[in-house]
Homo-oligomer: A and B are copies of this chain.
Amino acid sequence: MSQEKPRKRRGAGRVTLNAVARQAGVSAITVSRYFNQPESVSPERRERIAAVVAELGYVPNLVAGGLASSRGKIVGMVIPNISGPIFANTIQGFSDTLSRHGYQLLLASSYFSTEQEENAVRAFLGWSPAALVLTSHFHSSGTEKMIAEADIPVIETWDYQPDREPMQIGFSHYEVGATAARYLHDKGYRRIAFVQNSAPGDLSALERRDGYAATVREFGLEPWVFAPDADRAPFEAGKQAMEALMNASPRPEAIIFANDNLAAGGLLAGQRAGLKIPEDCAVLGFGDYPFAEMLLPSLSTIKPPALEIGVLAATRVLESLGVLPSDEVQRLNLLQCQVIEREST
């Protein structure tokens, strides 16, 4: 008898679609349809197939499916870094929304390096992803070329550049800088400084700076930008900035930090030096990291719609693929950042 498993040369001896079909007494394509368009299979066969699938413990081979259909149920996402508190919510919202519809997340981090981003995109493309999600509009020319030719939905998140070709989901960093400056000015602060991020590749942070600078100029004030040493750990960079700015005379009345990590460092350095915050100097961050409300004084900050970006990105992807209904997929998605006023301003 040839009952014994032949242990073909290849394949792990997995249960295949054909095995299910044979067992259920139907053709392979019917089983395929059972998974992809169940309505198009008669209820009786559906039942029979379901039974066999359970009995054999069949798991569809998505690789084979992806090859045959030249479009896998997989979506690639590149973010600057996973471990920072800022992007984690975006990943989470994105991943969860996708997986609820049977799509998987392929993830890589760029560390704000366009070269690493390009490598990730190239690798992803090898998996025939259904879509690609990137962060910001800063890419290498190689990346630009690949996404232009990819012929799949591409989304840029955490940014908003209406003129660009890819779908946009995010906000204007320039506007965030402007909002920060306006907010502090409205509260009566005049000598307002801005502390840059210590991560050199964080170009979006520079756009926030530019928005700040333009706005204070509109108020007839002089921009005051401090740049910590490059690549210093953010918390330390914040301390460095605060120490330097405190020694200036006159001191700034308020400081905008490029993100909450820097701001937290600044806050502590200020307190350690006996500064009263916000009386002597107000502090405003960006990101609304989880610890912002736990600090003493709690940190005022600008909260980006991180989770929302992730969920919306997934939604747009699924709409583009026809998985979710939509008359016309919205290409431009401008979300709002929110000033979270706490004790430090």
Contact = CB atoms under 8 A, between A and B. Distances in A.
A264 interface: yes
Interface stretch (A83-91, A181-189, A206-214, A219-227): A83-91
A126 B11 contact: no
Given A82-B92, A85-B290, A108 B105 contact: yes
Contact of A83 (B88, B105, B146, B261): B88
A107 interface: yes
Interface string A24-64: 00000000000000000000000000000000010111111
Contacts of A122: 59
Given A290-B291, A291-B290, A107 B95 contact: yes
B126 A61 contact: yes
Given A67-B64, A82-B95, A95-B107, A125 B88 contact: no
Interface of A: 10-12, 57, 59-64, 66-70, 72, 74, 81-85, 88-89, 91-92, 95-96, 99, 102, 104-109, 119-120, 122-128, 145-146, 149, 151, 235, 261, 264, 267-268, 271, 289-291, 293-296
12 contacts: A10-B69, A57-B145, A61-B128, A63-B72, A63-B128, A67-B67, A82-B91, A84-B88, A104-B108, A105-B107, A261-B290, A291-B294
Given A63-B72, A82-B88, A95-B109, 20 more contacts: A10-B69, A11-B70, A12-B128, A61-B126, A63-B66, A63-B67, A82-B91, A83-B85, A83-B89, A83-B91, A104-B108, A105-B106, A105-B107, A264-B294, A268-B294, A271-B296, A289-B290, A290-B291, A291-B295, A295-B296
